[in-house]
Amino acid sequence: MWWKNAIIYEIFPRSFKDSNGDGIGDIQGIISKLDYLKDLGVDAIWLCPVYPSPNNDSGYDVSDYYDIWDELGSMEDIEELIEEMHKRDMKLIMELVANHTSDEHKWFIESRKSKDNPYRNYYIWRPGKDGQEPNNWLSTKLGGSVWTYDDNTEEYYLHLYSSKQPDLNWENPKVRQEVYNIMRFWFNKGVDGFRMDVINKIAKAPGLPDVERKEGDKRKYLPCEEYYENYPKVHDYLKEMNREVLSKYEDKLAMGQTSGVTPKQAYLYTGEDRGELNLFLQFEHIDIDRGPNNKKLPFNALEFKKSLAKWQTAMDGKLWNALFFGSHDAPRPVSHYGNDKKYRVESAKMLATVLFTLKGTPIIYQGEEIGMTNVRFENIEDYKDIRTHNMYRERYLEGGENLKNVMQDIWELSRDNARTPMQWDDSENAGFTKGKPWIKPNPNYKEINVRKSLNDSNSILNYYKSMIKLRKSNEVLLNGDFRLIFEDDPNIFAYFRELNKKKVLVITNFSDKDIEINLSREIGEIDDFKLLISNYEVNEWNIESIELKPFEARVYEFGA
């Protein structure tokens, strides 16, 4: 189980590094930065989709699972990447997009030709009902119906996401075997695991029933997650996948994106006795300040820490968490949870302290290690993300909402915050490309970049390196139990990690204010301690009562 002690680094290939000047990041660009990642302390790379795609949804609409998107490279390039990573004792995690394909995939092209086509049952087709869609399900990510009418066969097909991403029919054994063959193909290439996109949505309720409408609810389409998200049948499919594929290959990682799970449900996916997946990705802490209709709510640090603590102690330690604050779908962590202006460096280091001292497998998203921030494009045309444009259309163009309010939420929530080019240096386009980048870089790249960070001993990047070394060398941080203290404090997130009489105490201030705390009142007599790391210079050695500066973080060790 190499992943339990691993540091995983997520790469969004189009935005990481361009090697050929076409403005699009590519596989050769990733290869050129492997030594940088190895020096950071990375053990595995999770690679967002690199398969051929019409790019309706950033490659998550796959048109061929057995090839490489020519914008990103070739099969020879991915084979070279695998070889070069293995030379460095690093592992490659590919993306498996198995809930849906592109509508330009050959299976779907065949499926829509006729009702008796051999591929028809690869997807979910239904006749209309009373001149309307087959049911009243709402596409919660993009708005509108989950059904699209096809003139050729006069039926509708299901798509939980874009109409260009038709859902596969997992009830069809042939579909499942197709997916398993894809997995075998890439495992045989040397890939070390898969991150499985929305894998908890592959099973749908039998009959696809209407959502029951509450009295007074006049909406045409209604939220329907209970009919497809974590539906019990999903476990039958994953057990079969494990039996037929995962169990046949030694030490391969299966990491599932499982939004909306409870701890009990997460255990069903990843319990060691379950025979399904190894790691789960849940998003409770990511979505804690995202309201209905993609409206940004105030960030609540108390709710945030209680959510993290809940998952740390859930199921009496039987769960193993994937730890992450950023991703290709989320805002930049320092902008989301910290202060990306006056205290950008301090709050980014504080968040790193938490990330690497909780129990689980940490995942760094590209640029997080240098404190990259959200971007504020003034023009909607500069945004490329389909969800951002849908939000703009629904709330402003069609809904008539105040443009300033809509743009403010886009600045805080758009997925493009995470997709601006990686900031390598202060040269044109942040050293990402010598051409015109597919999306504009964040203008702050002259101040925030890798080259500058490498030359600054007090940089966020060098703090990341120190935290990773500390984590890997400290058995308590790897395997110790978690115990929250200052449970109801709205600003302080503090906890013990404990193993075999050894303790590590982590104290963090999630506010921009100086805060004094009395540790002895919370944990009793204090002796035999050592400061392991902090993001401010610490001169005081009496820790019974301490004053934390804005976004300060300290890690102490107690015991033998």
pLDDT, tens digit (0-9, with 9 covering 90-100), for 52-91: 999 999 999 999 999 999 999 999 999 999 999 999 999 9
pLDDT at 555: 96
Q: What is the per-residue pLDDT across 464-506, written as a single tens digit (0 to 9) for each?
A: 999 999 999 999 999 999 999 999 999 999 999 999 989 999 9
* DSSP output for 146-209: SEEEETTTTEEEE-SS-TTSPBB-TTSHHHHHHHHHHHHHHHHHT--EEEEETGGGS---TT-P
Q: What is the per-residue pLDDT across 169-199, written as a single tens digit (0 to 9) for each?
A: 999 999 999 999 999 999 999 999 999 999 9
Q: What is the per-residue pLDDT across 104-118, written as a single tens digit (0 to 9) for each?
A: 999 999 999 999 999
From the centroid of its chain, how far is CA 205?
26
| Beta bridge pairs of residue 518 | 545
pLDDT at 518: 87
**261-277: string of b/e by CB count within 10 Å (b at 16+)?**
bebebbbbbbbeeeebb
Is pLDDT at 524 greater than 70 in this prediction? Answer: no
Give the span between the Cα atoms of 345 and 339, in whole angstroms: 9
pLDDT at 560: 52
- Return the higher-pLDDT residue of 130 and 524: 130
pLDDT at 13: 98
Tell which residue, 374, 370, 519, has the closest CA to residue 450: 370
Work out the percent of the chain whose per-residue pLDDT is above 70.
Answer: 99
pLDDT at 526: 67
Amino acid at 213: R
* pTM of structure: 0.96
Residues, the chain: 560
Is pLDDT at 103 greater than 70 in this prediction? Answer: yes
**Lowest mean pLDDT: which of 146-160, 180-194, 360-374, 516-530?**
516-530
